[in-house]
Amino acid sequence: MRSGGDVAAMPLPGDRGYGACQVVRVDGDVTLACALAWHSPDLPTLPELAGVGPLIVEHHVHGGHPAVINVGRDDDPFDFVWLGRLPVGPDIPTQSNSYSGWSYLPVQVMAQRRWDALPETVRHGYRAAGSGDMVTVDFGAGQARTKVGTGRLDLTGAGFVSAPESGTVAWSALDRLPRVSSVLWRGPDRGLVAAVAERPLITFLDWRDGPADIDLSRTWITDLRLSGATGQVALAQAACSLHLSEPARGLRVRAADEGRRLRLAMRTRQEGLDAPEGLGGVRDVQVDAGGAFSLSGLSALTGIARLQVTFDGPPGVLVGAEHLSAYRGMHTLALHNAYGLDADTLPDLETLRRLEIHGLRRSVAQGLEARYRGSGVELLITGAKSDTWLASNLTNPFRDWADDSARFGAAACRAYATARKAVDAISPGSPDGLEQAERALRGLVAELNRIDERYEMIDTIRREEAGDAFFELAAIAAVPVELAERWFDDRDF
């Protein structure tokens, strides 16, 4: 249990160095913590941090405030190195209205360091473009209007870039958009790598259907989402995260320290997955799977310390759990929607300190609680559901809405089940099929409107989940996307 004054060194994402933070106070399950104005290539000692003040956050649109955050008990910084206790300095705030996880603190240290390293002209241009004024740009497909303060530039569709893959791209148009830090791109390079390498403010790249080999080592890209690469991918020295969609077998990634400071996320709808080679140092791995996932495909990632597997569909089965024994340094295992898990599925892991499971059978939860009681493993279980509930709702995309309100979740599940039954009843090629689909889909939206009016619980995340479910039903009913979008826009939530 931490106390006010406790000081920790923080390994920094995408950096071989360390930052530092201090616990200001602990109130029940909430810890107030502050990042310190510190960076060093090596692990600092407690005396070195004596008298160090708070990190003042000035990067991007931040106005110069200390990096202080409230952190809940359920978030544990296992990679932090706790050095001891120092008096809390008078310039460190004693309260904050903001809540986040411990990871917020090292991220702010790195973000401020990168901002400070930018040329003054880049920083000035970013801040001067804060208005909603429009600007004309031409990337090669003709003139187009967009906001001068655009930060996320999507070049995957029509409007900015000419459709032919071999067409010329006028990357100099980026100079008219001084706030762009994220770029979405599809297909061959066409000068993309050279363009982002010349612009240190661009740190996020989403590259879809890219070439077999990609070299980003001379860029400033810290966060990369990638699909299509099959050969070798070279990351920038400061890379923090890599997200791979259906990674190809034989893919090799070149990263600093074999990815030790890299967060690796992978998405697959197959039970099997071949993790890329070259990332034996990666410690934080997240996998989004379908209804089942085999751990055998992660054998190349020998350094895993934290593993999270999220099942996006039923039954949520973890295959080959015995492979977890190969990770001698694993301290955290997190499973989401693991309704196919049994109490004895997981092997005994000597280094495991935390087991998080959101979404499982209530009977299995009881078995896990008995198994890990007194073991030294912190067990956190949420979203446990009865076998009776799951028998009716396991395949329902709104099943987890019941975690916060049983009545709200039950109502949403009934609304989806009614719409799904109506869609499934449509005969292929039926002359009135589109009319039937419209009744079913508009009925789902109308019912969700009524549910939200009563419970007021459809937030941003649930709105996205509702949209995913709606458009999946529309696709099953062969409704054109443009038409389905108009129907979905009738929502009030």
For residue 412, pLDDT beyond 90:
yes
Contacts of 135 (CB under 8 A, 6+ apart): 145, 146, 147, 148, 176, 177
What are the tens digits of pLDDT across the range 33-63? Answer: 999 999 999 999 999 999 999 999 999 989 8
With both helix axes pointing from N to C terminus, report the angle between 433-455 and 406-424 in degrees, rounded to the nearest 10: 180
With both helix axes pointing from N to C terminus, report the angle between 406-424 and 460-476 in degrees, rounded to the nearest 10: 20
Cβ atoms 408, 415 nearer than 8 A: no
DSSP 275: P
Terminal alpha carbon distance of the chain: 41
Average pLDDT over residues 90-116: 95
Question: Whose CA is closest to 205, among 148, 155, 161, 259?
Answer: 155
Categorize the per-residue pLDDT at 349 as very low, low, confident or very high, splitting at 50, 70 and 90: very high
How many alpha carbons lie under 13 Å from residue 333 in its C-beta half-sphere?
Answer: 22
Separation in Å, CA 258 to CA 77, 234, 277, 377: 22, 11, 9, 29
d(CA 338, CA 385): 11
Q: Extract the runs of DSSP E, i.e. beta strands, from 259-377.
A: 263-267, 284-289, 292-294, 306-311, 317-319, 332-336, 354-361
Please state the φ and ψ torsions of residue 47, each to the nearest 5 degrees.
-60, -35
For residue 131, pLDDT beyond 90:
no
d(CA 275, CA 244): 9
What are the tens digits of pLDDT across the range 382-398? Answer: 999 999 999 999 999 99
Contacts of 197 (CB under 8 A, 6+ apart): 218, 219, 220
One-letter amino acid for residue 309 of the chain: V
Please state the φ and ψ torsions of residue 281, each to the nearest 5 degrees.
-90, -5
What are the tens digits of pLDDT across the range 445-457? Answer: 999 999 999 999 9
pTM (2 d.p.): 0.89
Phi-psi region of 140 (alpha: psi -120 to 50; beta: other; left: phi over 0): left
Question: Whose CA is closest to 198, among 140, 119, 91?
Answer: 119
Categorize the per-residue pLDDT at 76 as very low, low, confident or very high, splitting at 50, 70 and 90: confident
What are the tens digits of pLDDT across the range 232-289? Answer: 999 999 999 999 999 999 999 999 999 999 999 999 999 989 999 999 999 999 999 9
The overall average pLDDT reported for the chain is 94
> How many CB atoms lie under 10 A from the CB of residue 348?
10
Categorize the per-residue pLDDT at 161 as very low, low, confident or very high, splitting at 50, 70 and 90: confident
For residue 224, pLDDT beyond 70:
yes
Strands 354-361 and 317-319: unpaired
User: What pLDDT does residue 2 have?
Assistant: 87
For residue 74, pLDDT beyond 70:
no
For residue 132, pLDDT beyond 90:
no
Categorize the per-residue pLDDT at 106 as very low, low, confident or very high, splitting at 50, 70 and 90: very high
3-state secondary structure at position 381:
strand
